[in-house]
Structure 1
């Protein structure tokens, strides 16, 4: 996963900075104090013109952002459940259909919204990466998704980050999760 955080002394410092919410992750960019990962991604997307240009592209951004959150929340529900083994089987049965929808949405485009990367490509990568950790073969039937993941990981700055000491293997969920907590 590209995005990871943990509770530490920085959270306490964040609280002292009079932010609205003392949650992780957070970003302080000049006068702007932003919490919540999607708010940060959306802010950075606007700042760097990564939110789509046409109305159609902006609609696709909105759709994928919300779909990614729905899928992320559903997997988290399974992974935090005491009935994980039962729910895992049900989830795995639905997984090919879920990946098919992502595949259809991407189609033959380079990125999910078109030929220019947007902030939701980061969300899509995160979801696809999480699922290939959960079920390593889940992308095998979808060459366009596998190509998307390879293309994303091949971006110069992403590749450099993933090879750096700053990119740390981390647990996917907190310690109370049944799966992905180590």
Structure 2
């Protein structure tokens, strides 16, 4: 078994999908969390200057979705066929495109709040309707078993609901999917034990 070390902030953020994959697959790893105040000193030592990074026996992988995709393939959560894997990637990228439009680093709180309100009011409904239509009457987003696309939906929707409680109330199928993910024993255990953070 490789030695894994995940380095990320003491947040859920972009590191949480990776932690979900480790938790669900019962893979031991070092969850190295750094505080925001320490980041300016650490950043110059990180290739490309961004986290999360995952060290796999000393080899460093950067980019959260590349890390998650690697782990998903290693653990059978990437989709059962090449076509399913493409659909999983498409759903993850679609959700991530939306999450990436938020000005997470904006310092002006009024500007940030206005942008968040606009995205949650005007853009989110269309995305949620499309995801709802894609899910249809299926139990999981892609295929007959859980994939990391389902995990990514739960991770990202948890963040969205922090900013807009009730955001997915009009989409009971998406809400049910979220509940199914969180009811998986390994995921439920992780949620219960993980550090409590705002984001």
Q: How many Å separate the matches in 2 of 1:35 and 1:90? A: 31
Residue equivalent to 1:101: 130
- What is the CA distance between 1:107 and its match in structure 2? 1.6
Q: Is the alpha carbon distance of 1:22 and 1:78 closer, same or farther for their aligned partners in structure 2, counting shifts above 3 Å?
A: closer
Higher RCO (CA < 8 A, seq sep 6+): 2
Q: Give the TM-score taking structure 2 as reference length.
A: 0.70
Q: How far does the alpha carbon of each residue in 1:24-74 deviate from its partner, in whole angstroms, 9 at most, with x for none?
A: 222222253222211110110111122112233122112112101111112
- What is the CA distance between 1:93 and its match in structure 2? 2.8
User: Where do residues 114-153 of structure 1 align in structure 2 (5 Å cutoff)?
Assistant: 114-153=143-182
More strand by share: 2
- What is the CA distance between 1:159 and its match in structure 2? 0.6
Partner SS state of residue 28, structure 1: strand
Cα RMSD of the aligned pairs, angstroms, is 2.8
Q: Give the TM-score taking structure 1 as reference length.
A: 0.76
Whether the 8 Å CA contact 2:80–2:143 is kept in 1: the answer is: no
Structure 1, unaligned runs of 5 or more? 173-182
Partner SS state of residue 55, structure 2: strand
Structure 2, unaligned runs of 5 or more? 1-11, 17-32
- What is the CA distance between 1:111 and its match in structure 2? 1.6
Partner SS state of residue 143, structure 2: coil
